[in-house]
Amino acid sequence: MQLKQLLEVLDVTNSTEVLDVEINSVSYHSQKVEKGDLFVCVKGYKTDGHKYLPDAIQRGAVAAVVEDYQADLHIPQYVVSDSRIALAKLGSQLYKNPSSKMTMIGITATNGKTTTSYMTNAILEKEGRRTGLIGTVVVKNGDTSIPAELTTPESLDLQKYLNDMVENDVTHVTMEVSSAALELHRVEGVEYDIVSLNNMSKEHMEMHGTFERYFEVKSSLIRNASPDAYAVLNLDDKYSASLVDQTEAKVISFGLTNNNGYLHCKDLDLSTGRGKFTVEILKPFEASGIKYEPSEFKVELAVPGLHSVYNAMVAITIALLSGVRVTTIQETLKEFSGVPRRFEFIHEDEIKVVDDHFANPGNINVTLQTLDFMDYENLHLVYAIRGQRGATINRENAEVIVKWAEKLKIKEVIATRSVSHTTSKDEVTDEEVSAFQEVMDKAGIRVDLYNELPDAIHEALTHTTKGDLVLLAGCQGMDYGAGIALEALDKENVEVK
């Protein structure tokens, strides 16, 4: 593509002459530059792409997009106010706006993005659509998948993935959209047809600084949606509900406790942990050439948890907006087995063992609320303290456990630092342990603290009796918990009394 054609989408602030030159490709990583490339100098949190412009030139870059002009470098430099936005626009231009050629679904939330994306993709696939999926676990293009490096890829990489999907005849792409991606303009230029924000709670304060900023960034997916798009909003979540009149998109809202939206989840039964409910269409709406009139249909989930019901309501709404048959929705959700470590039943015999991500106050609240709906004898909570996330998040996580302690009869928490099962970036500090311990001490809840994850899990399992439930709760520090628990349950020295 000609350099002039590429730069058409940018607001260049200097008067450097635009060369009449063919550009091989666009790059933001100097070591990946090839002869004839346009190099974009991106400022990151840890390093600055401007430092690598000499290396990019040496490797064959013929022009650069920069925020800071470097007079000592003899290469055309086109100055922009934000090179991240420029990179996103250049990616879309280079690949000829691939998102406009498919149905794009953008899903955001503090909790449940991955599960909701997988649910949505599974429903669309069962209906016979050729699908793409971009998220925390994989990038899926039709029948092929590769492991994901970021929840939402860097903008240039994202546009390449989307272009590959267009060339592979993909019709529907479901994307997890992280707050980092929105903050760093990775999805700039992506034309979404359906967007959703399911829930909000405190998370990623290390990036955004304040919750207000986090919400502002997160909600931009909804607020910036086009008038031709649909926005799926959860009226039970005050932050999601507050966006109903903050977008030009056509809002299709739902609720469990709130029945003022278009869809209502009623007659919910969570006695087994797995939801059975009725979806009631309360108001008529039209999408994909289909007119939906007030009616209702039953749904059974294979995945457990109250949060799964909310995730399913988002997926159901998106499916209806995509013209999927109700029978396909019902069949898929009855079979959908979920995503690892999202309130996952890993053992169901005389005792139940549930493995849960347990990341932040919102996630923890819904997990413990689900347990309140369930039938079991005694709860044994094994909690992996969050490492390298600060005292505040550990204090807030502890406060949610305390809030549910009386109702769930939590008198003791088995906590662990998971020393041998975490890397340095997730290593638990003394300050983080103290923050958790102080809240528990104040509430009169005993904490048995173990350095090692296997010791903590073994302690819980040796005290279970028939009908009990063990909750393996935690993020990176509990990633190996399920395997350890299952191995222990297979050994003779751990028996259910």
89 and 113, same domain (yes or no): no
From the centroid of its chain, how far is CA 345? 21
Q: How many domains does the chain have?
A: 3
123 and 158, same domain (yes or no): yes
CA distances from 483 to 27, 340, 423, 472, 490 (A): 41, 12, 18, 11, 11
Digit-coded pLDDT (tens) for 28-48: 999 999 999 999 999 987 789
CATH of the domain at 25: 3.40.1390.10
In a domain, 495, yes or no: no
Question: Of 335, 362, 388, which one is at a domain's C-terminal end?
Answer: 335
Exposed/middle/buried for residue 268 (C-beta within 10 Å: 0-12, 13-18, 19+): middle
In a domain, 497, yes or no: no
Cα maximum dimension of the chain? 80
* DSSP structure class, residue 322: T
pLDDT at 496: 43
137 and 45, same domain (yes or no): no
Question: Of 62, 94, 126, which one is at a domain's C-terminal end?
Answer: 94
- Range(s) of the domain holding residue 119: 98-335
Query: What is the H or E stretch that residue 332 is in?
Result: helix 326-335
Digit-coded pLDDT (tens) for 382-399: 999 999 999 999 999 999
Give yes or no for residue 329 having a pLDDT over 90. yes
Average pLDDT score over the chain: 94
In a domain, 442, yes or no: yes
CB neighbour list of residue 490: distance below 8 Å, 6 or more residues apart:
none
Rounded to two decimals, the pTM is: 0.80
- Backbone angles phi and psi of 115, in degrees to 5: -60, -45
Give yes or no for residue 55 having a pLDDT over 80. yes
Cα–Cα distance measured from residue 166 to residue 182, given in angstroms and rounded to the nearest whole number? 23
Torsion of CA 447, 451, 456, 457, to 10 degrees: 150
Question: Of 61, 94, 127, which one is at a domain's C-terminal end?
Answer: 94
Give yes or no for residue 416 having a pLDDT over 90. yes
286 and 380, same domain (yes or no): no
Strand 138-141 with 144-147, pairing = antiparallel
**Strand runs (DSSP E) across 120-235, as ranges?**
131-134, 138-141, 144-147, 172-176, 194-197, 230-234
Digit-coded pLDDT (tens) for 272-327: 999 999 999 999 999 999 999 999 999 999 998 999 999 999 999 999 999 999 99
Cα–Cα distance measured from residue 189 to residue 94, given in angstroms and rounded to the nearest whole number? 12
In a domain, 37, yes or no: yes
Long-range contacts at 220-226 (CB < 8 A, ≥ 24 apart): 220/182, 221/106, 221/108, 221/177, 221/182, 221/187, 221/192, 221/195, 221/197, 222/195, 222/197, 222/246, 222/247, 222/249, 223/247, 225/192, 225/195, 225/249, 226/191, 226/192
Kindly state the tokens that stand for 451: 């350095």
Cα–Cα distance measured from residue 18 to residue 24, given in angstroms and rounded to the nearest whole number? 16
- Window from 92-101, 355-364, 393-402 with minimum mean pLDDT: 355-364
CATH of the domain at 356: 3.90.190.20
307 and 408, same domain (yes or no): no
121 and 82, same domain (yes or no): no
In a domain, 496, yes or no: no
206 and 225, same domain (yes or no): yes
Amino acid at 402: V
Exposed/middle/buried for residue 469 (C-beta within 10 Å: 0-12, 13-18, 19+): buried
Q: How many other C-beta atoms are found inside a 10 Å radius of the C-beta of residue 96?
A: 12
13 and 137, same domain (yes or no): no
119 and 264, same domain (yes or no): yes
From the centroid of its chain, how far is CA 129? 23
Instruction: Assess contact for 80 and 67: CB atoms under 8 A.
Output: yes
- Local confidence band at 338 (pLDDT 50, 70, 90 cut-offs): confident
Instruction: Assess contact for 377 and 385: CB atoms under 8 A.
Output: no
326 and 370, same domain (yes or no): no
112 and 39, same domain (yes or no): no
302 and 366, same domain (yes or no): no
Give yes or no for residue 250 having a pLDDT over 50. yes
Three-state secondary structure call for residue 70:
coil
Residue in the block written with tokens 């190099």: 39
CATH of the domain at 275: 3.40.1190.10
- Window from 24-33, 133-142, 256-265 with minimum mean pLDDT: 133-142
- Local confidence band at 362 (pLDDT 50, 70, 90 cut-offs): confident
Cα–Cα distance measured from residue 226 to residue 192, given in angstroms and rounded to the nearest whole number? 8
